[in-house]
């Protein structure tokens, strides 16, 4: 096993410093291109701690560090150091280089990679002249920063301050962490701007005010208000809130539960004619049963609309919408939560057995599913409606499962 943070074997290492809030493909391209051009054996990404020149939020330190690990994990020449994150008090580059120096052989060259904007600020860092004597710098081009000016800055630093700064033109990526944060906050995609695991991480933890879906709930609400009747909208919000309560009870993702709840009836208030046209538009197959029982169409159509018109990509959310009326066997936890939340949300008009199911929902969700399926099927049989085979299969499945439990 290779040891971490041991640089004795290396002749050339580089530090890639930054707040990495979050790390993006611009950072990775800069590090990789410098690595190859300068024959560097190891690039050490060092997320800043409490930088003196930049306000940092300690809450985000761990997230920034972990995202940097995720982004660099696949590159055998990259590693990440906690050196600055873990340093008490203010953190300065000169201390970092000093610490690294102790871990290297005397003849090891240490490089520091910076973008065009950062090199501009270098003279404001702590002990700039000493720092410039301790390591080499590579200043890479960055869109939005003038190349000629960058070269002039480098010249000044090298002549006036005896620096060792090199210029390197790299493929232009007009990406910044600020832009990534702004995009996430308004629900814009960051795919191909940050590495995939970083994207998932940001969405998973709701960093930067983001949501697991492409659209923020405010936008979803606005759109729903336009296509649902007031009564249906109220029901929808009730389901979303009940779904969150159930998600908390069973340890499911509350954000997903909220969104699936909000969207479960998004196709409900279109006329039959509109529903058929939308099914054609979005390739939702209409089988015989759906033709005879048009009320069932809204679930499957709703799933397609959630994808196409509300930007939902999460398959679990899509399935929870698709099967919220019929149910199906072996539902995921989220599917069961939406199925039940729809049944018991606080605005539901009272019916026989409602209170019992409300209680059961929080004791044993599988039993609540069986109970609801039984009730729904019974109700529809009385009304002489066709029962969808998915519901019959589901009832059988949960009945067997629950019997086995006892
Ligand atoms: P913020 O917008 O929060 O300032 P940032 O995108 O500038 O974030 P930092 O973590 O501040 O990222 O940058 C770390 C280092 O990477 C800096 O030296 C910066 O100049 C360089 N850098 C960042 N993005 C790019 C890019 N797209 N191209 C080249 N260099 C970059
Ligand atoms: Mg910056």
Ligand 1 neighbours by CB, cut-off 6 Å: 18-21, 26-27, 30, 114-115, 117-118, 140, 142, 173, 175-178
Q: Is residue 194 a part of any domain in this protein?
A: no
**Per-residue pLDDT tens for 79-105?**
999 999 998 888 899 999 999 999 999
SS3 state of residue 84: coil
- The last residue of a domain, from among 174, 200, 233: 174
Same domain, 163 and 225: no
pLDDT at 211: 56
In this structure, are 17 and 161 located in the same domain?
yes
Residue numbers of the domain that contains 234: 217-399
Residue 219 has a pLDDT of 83
CA of 235 to the centre of ligand 2 (A): 46
Q: 60 and 160: one domain?
A: yes
* Shared domain check, 258 and 141: no
* pLDDT tens digits for range 23-43: 999 999 999 999 999 999 999
Please tell me the distance between residue 70's alpha carbon and the centre of ligand 2 in angstroms.
20
Residues 38 and 144 in one domain: yes
Q: Per the structure, how many domains does the chain have? A: 2
State pTM to two decimals.
Answer: 0.59
Distance 238 CA to ligand 2 centre (A): 43
What's the confidence (pLDDT) of residue 353? 86
Note whether 232 and 170 are same-domain residues: no
Structural domain contains residue 53: yes
């Amino acid at each position: 096993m290779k040891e971490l943070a041991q640089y004795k074997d290396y002749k050339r290492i580089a530090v890639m410093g930054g707040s990495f809030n979050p790390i993006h493909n611009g950072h990775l391209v800069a590090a990789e291109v410098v690595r190859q051009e300068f024959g560097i054996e190891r690039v050490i990404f060092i997320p800043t701690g409490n930088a003196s020149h930049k306000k940092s939020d300690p809450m985000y330190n761990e997230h920034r560090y972990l995202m940097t690990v995720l982004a660099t994990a696949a590159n055998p020449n990259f590693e990440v150091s906690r050196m600055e994150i873990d340093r008490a008090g203010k953190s300065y580059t000169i201390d970092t280089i000093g610490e690294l120096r102790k871990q290297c052989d005397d003849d090891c060259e240490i490089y520091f990679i910076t973008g065009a904007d950062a090199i501009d600020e270098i003279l404001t860092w702590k002990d700039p002249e000493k720092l410039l004597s301790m390591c080499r710098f590579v200043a890479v081009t960055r869109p939005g920063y003038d190349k000629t000016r960058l070269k002039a800055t480098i010249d000044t630093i090298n002549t006036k301050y005896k620096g060792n700064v090199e210029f390197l033109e790299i493929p232009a990526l007009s990406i910044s962490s600020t832009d990534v944060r702004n995009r996430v906050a308004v629900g814009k995609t960051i795919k191909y701007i940050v590495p995939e695991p970083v994207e998932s991480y940001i969405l998973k933890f709701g960093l930067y005010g983001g949501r697991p879906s492409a659209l923020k709930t405010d936008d979803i609400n606005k759109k729903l208000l336009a296509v649902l009747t007031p009564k249906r909208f109220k029901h929808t919000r009730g389901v979303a809130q009940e779904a969150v309560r159930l998600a908390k009870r069973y340890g499911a993702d509350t954000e997903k539960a909220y969104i699936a709840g909000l969207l479960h009836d998004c196709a409900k208030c279109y006329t039959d004619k509109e529903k058929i046209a939308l099914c054609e538009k979005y390739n939702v197959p209409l089988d015989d049963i759906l033709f005879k029982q048009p009320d069932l169409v809204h679930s499957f159509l709703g799933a397609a609309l959630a994808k196409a018109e509300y930007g939902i990509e999460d398959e679990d959310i899509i399935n929870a919408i698709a099967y919220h009326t019929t149910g199906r066997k072996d539902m995921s936890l989220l599917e069961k939560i939406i199925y039940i939340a729809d049944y018991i949300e606080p605005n539901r008009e009272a019916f026989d057995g409602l209170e019992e199911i409300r209680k059961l929902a929080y004791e044993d969700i599988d039993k609540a599913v069986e109970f609801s399926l039984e009730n729904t099927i019974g109700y529809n049989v009385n009304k002489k409606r066709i029962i969808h085979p998915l519901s019959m299969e589901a009832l059988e499945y949960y009945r067997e499962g629950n019997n086995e439990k006892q």
